[in-house]
Amino acid sequence: MNKHSVYETNSFYWGIKGNEFLRAIVLPHYGAFVTEEKHQLFGDVSGLKMLEVGCGNGQSLQYHGDRKAGELWGMDISEKQIEKAAQHLTTCGLSATLICSPMEEECGIPKNYFDAVYSIYAIGWTTDLEVLSARSLLI
């Protein structure tokens, strides 16, 4: 498997189809029947430094920003999704540090910095779960 070819394919897909797919899987929804309001997986995020892996168009980051998270960070493989996230968050009066990169690659995200690192379905798109885990993004 040529992981760079996979990155290009995934980036292209998310740039073209991302918003169609993302309608059902952004916070507060984890899917059709599970919601953050019901299960409170995050609890109080006030003041927390949050990183979303696979941030898409920024709607889940907005959810945390609206709940007074201290810092919002997002990464996504698609430049188009990063652009959409930046526009969306700006429209909502929120700011975030957004990085376009495959989740498995070093991209300048600080280590041992975040209070919460999460992904709403993006981890399933990884090309190497062991590398991702070793980068401490999942720990």
Q: Which two tokens stand for residue 97?
A: 């540090």
Q: What is the dotted CATH code of the domain comprising 3-134?
A: 3.40.50.150
What local confidence, expressed as pLDDT, does residue 76 receive? Answer: 92
Region 93-100: mean pLDDT is 97
- Asked whether 96 and 63 are in contact (CB, 8 A), the reply is no
pLDDT band at 6 (very low <50, low <70, confident <90, very high): low
Rounded to 5 degrees, φ, ψ at 55 are -75, -10
C-alpha span between 112 and 109 (Å, rounded)? 10
Handedness of CA 58, 59, 62, 67 (dihedral sign): negative
Q: Determine the residue type at 103.
A: M
Q: pTM above 0.75?
A: yes
> How many CB atoms within 10 Å of residue 19?
15
The answer to whether residue 20 scores a pLDDT higher than 90 is no
pLDDT tens-digit readout, 21-76:
555 567 887 777 788 888 888 999 999 999 999 998 999 999 999 999 999 999 99
Q: In the chain, what are the domain boundaries?
A: 3-134
What local confidence, expressed as pLDDT, does residue 10 receive? Answer: 64
What local confidence, expressed as pLDDT, does residue 114 receive? Answer: 93
What local confidence, expressed as pLDDT, does residue 18 receive? Answer: 59
